[in-house]
Amino acid sequence: MKCPYCNYLDSKVIDSRPTDEGSTIRRRRECINCKSRFTTYERVEETPIIVVKRDGNRQIFDKNKIINGIIKSCEKRPVSIESIEKAADDVEKQVQNLMKKEISSEEIGEFVMEALKDLDEVAYVRFASVYRQFKDVQSFFNELESIMKTKK
C-alpha cells in the first residue's frame, strides 16, 4: 500500500479489525520508509445494481432516494429518522439479496410499501397513493380496505 505521506510503496499492517457489521476491514498501517501511520479500508467490490424506471431509463440504485421517499411519506408523522434509515437499510438488503444486476423500480416500490406498512399506516397510504398512481377515489378506497383486512 502506497504511503500517503512519502509515497513509498511498502507498508506493514499493525492492526486489522472488522467494521460495518463485518462488511469492511479497517487496517492501521505503518510506512516502512517514514514510519508514518495511516488507515485503509478494505471492502468487497460490489457491482452496481441498475434500476429500470417505468419509462425505460436506467439509473444506479441509490439508497438515499429510498430514504427521501420514506421521509416524504412520513412527513408530520411520529416516525424517527432511525426507523426510516432502518427501513431503507432493509429495502437495500432485499434488493441486494435478489442477486440481480437490474431491478425494476416497481419491485423496489413494493419493498418500500412493505416496509412502510410496518412503520406507519398513514405513511404507507401516502406512498401508495403516489406509487400506485390512483386514478380515482375508488382505487384509493380499495387500498384502504386491503389495509383494514390485514389488520384484523
Domain that holds residue 94: 50-151
Q: What is the structure's pLDDT at 102? A: 95
Residues 56 and 37 grouped into a single domain: no
Residues 59 and 27 grouped into a single domain: no
Residues 73 and 126 grouped into a single domain: yes
Q: Is-above-0.85 flag for pTM?
A: no
Residue 15: exposed, middle, or buried by beta-carbon count in 10 A (0-12, 13-18, 19+)? exposed
For residue 90, give the nearest of 106, 67, 69, 123 by alpha carbon. 67
pLDDT > 90 in the chain, percent: 64
Q: What is the structure's pLDDT at 152? A: 59
Question: How far apart are alpha carbons 113 and 124 in whole angstroms?
Answer: 6
Q: What angle do CA 133, 136, 140 make, to 5 degrees?
A: 70
**What's the structural domain count of the chain?**
2
Q: What is the structure's pLDDT at 69? A: 93
Residue 3 belongs to a domain: no
Q: What is the structure's pLDDT at 44? A: 80
Residues 71 and 144 grouped into a single domain: yes
Residues 38 and 109 grouped into a single domain: no
Residues 114 and 144 grouped into a single domain: yes
Residues 115 and 132 grouped into a single domain: yes
Residues 59 and 81 grouped into a single domain: yes
Which cell numbers hold the place of 30?
A: 505503518
Residues 114 and 82 grouped into a single domain: yes
Q: What is the structure's pLDDT at 151? A: 67
Residue-wise pLDDT for 64-95, tens only, equals: 999 999 999 999 999 999 999 999 999 999 99
Question: How far apart are alpha carbons 3 and 71 in whole angstroms?
Answer: 42
Residue 13 contacts by C-beta under 8 Å, 6 or more apart in sequence? 27, 28, 29
Residues 55 and 126 grouped into a single domain: yes
51, 59 contact by CB (below 8 A): yes
Low-confidence ranges of the chain (pLDDT < 50): none
Q: What is the structure's pLDDT at 141? A: 76
Residues 31 and 68 grouped into a single domain: no
